[in-house]
Amino acid sequence: MTPPRIDLHTHSRASDGTDSPRGVLEAAAAAGLDVVALTDHDTTAGWAEAAEAVAVTGVALVRGTEISTRVRTEGGSISVHLLSYLHAPDDEVLRAECDRTRTDRLSRARRMTDLLAEDFPVTWDDVVAQTGDGATVGRPHLADALVAAGVVGSRDEAFATVLHPGARYYVPHYAPDTVDAVRAVLGAGGVPVMAHPGAGARGRTVSEATIADLAAAGLAGLEVDHRDHDAEARDRLRGLTAELGLLATGSSDYHGTGKLNRIGENTTAPEVLAQIEERGRLDVIRP
Ligand code: AMP
Ligand code: ZN
Ligand code: FE
Ligand code: FE
């Protein structure tokens, strides 16, 4: 028997992916995956539909969320994405934080749209038209509206130009402090894993000392194998997981057609998933 293939980080239209939650499981099945985690940004809205698709697709589901957080530094902050696996969706503290982030993401998207509208033929209705019902709104939706308006040719081009944090149209959004978010995830019975810790192209990355502080606060793992990490970054991060006693995961960060990431392009070892399931409050939903 070949070992199960496990991808622990994907997005659906509940945030900024282009597939429905069911579509993510169908894509996972087509790619020969056995287990997939649905980890939409700051929401659990896609969980129910994904859970319903387990039996038909034969793909097991890990319910998760990618939580937007920030590490405060002198002279600013660093954006950190924290994956939470198998947490109770009704935990009040974690839910309140995610609600606050989603609400602020909405006003932030409107403000960015207003700024973009000063120079480009794009309106808030255009952005809404690109965003799934009740979805967590993000820059990818602004990018899609700009592509539809013919301002840029692709999401990638939008991110490299007008949506870049250095662009005059960029507005940050609220996000909880990373240590607080790790504690909130643990309080909700979840397993906190830092997403793409070495993805330097997205902006500044946190230091090893910060990762050690997060580990002391209860961080369970690092997403080592990810497309945004080169071989050197993966080696360094794998070394860090060994040093700090953390789990090492791997995943695609699939966004449907919105990014080049192919589902299943990086995977997580079955022993690591077993550890996550043992620590998490919810079970993996199996066919
Ligand atoms: P936001 O959280 O709204 O600031 O937007 C960040 C989101 O955009 C993350 O989910 C990324 O996965 C996504 N993203 C970052 N760079 C790109 C890119 N070049 N093309 C498409 N999506 C991207
Ligand atoms: Zn995303
Ligand atoms: Fe991320
Ligand atoms: Fe992601």
Quick: pLDDT tens for 53-62.
999 999 999 9
Question: 204 pLDDT exceeds 90?
Answer: no
pLDDT for the residue numbered 2? 86
The CA distances from residue 259 to 85, 138, 227, 255, 274, in Å, are 23, 14, 11, 6, 29
Asked if 113 and 122 count as a contact pair (C-beta separation under 8 A), the reply is yes
Q: Is the CB of 258 under 6 A from ligand 1?
A: yes
Ligand sitting nearest the alpha carbon of 259 = 1
Q: What confidence tier does 203 reach under pLDDT thresholds 50, 70, 90?
A: confident
**Is residue 155 in contact with ligand 1, taking CB distance under 6 Å?**
yes
Residue 75: per-residue pLDDT: 81
- Check pLDDT > 90 for residue 221: yes
Q: Cα(85) to centroid of ligand 1, in Å?
A: 21
Q: Which ligand approaches the C-alpha of residue 258 most closely?
A: 1
Q: Which helix (H) or strand (E) holds 71?
A: strand 60-73
The amino acid present at 18, given as its one-letter code, is T
3-state secondary structure of 271: helix
3-state secondary structure (DSSP) of residue 260: coil
- Indicate whether residue 108 lines ligand 1 (CB < 6 A): no
Q: For atom 2 of ligand 1, which residue has the closest CA?
A: 138
**Tokens representing residue 157 in the block:** 């081009």
Give the position, in ligand 1's atom list, of the atom nearest the Cα of 255.
Answer: 12
Distance from C-alpha of 70 to C-alpha of 82, rounded to nearest angstrom:
10
Structure tokens at 272: 């690591």
Residue 121 CB partners (closer than 8 Å, separation 6+): 149, 151
Span 69-114, pLDDT tens digits = 999 988 889 999 999 999 999 999 999 999 999 999 999 999 999 9
**Measured at the alpha carbon of residue 36, what is the angle toward residues 31 and 40, in degrees to the nearest 5?**
115
From CA 287, how far away is CA 284, in angstroms rounded?
10
Is the beta carbon of 140 within 6 A of some atom in ligand 1?
yes
Q: Which atom of ligand 1 is nearest to the CA of 68?
A: 2
Q: How far is the CA of 287 from the centre of ligand 1 (A)?
A: 32
- How far, in Å, is the centroid of ligand 3 from the Cα of 196? 7
pLDDT over 90 at 287, yes or no: yes
Nearest CA to ligand 1 atom 20: 156
Considering only CA atoms, which of 166, 169, 129, 168 is closest in space to residue 147? 129
- Sign for the CA dihedral angle at 19, 21, 25, 28 comes to positive
Report how far residue 32's alpha carbon sits from residue 42's, in angstroms, rounded to the nearest whole number: 28
Choose among 204, 215, 284: nearest CA to 248: 215
- The mean pLDDT of 188-210, rounded to a whole number, is 91
pLDDT per position as a tens digit, 239-262: 999 999 999 999 999 999 988 999
Q: Which of 193, 216, 141, 203 is nearest to 167 (CA)?
A: 203
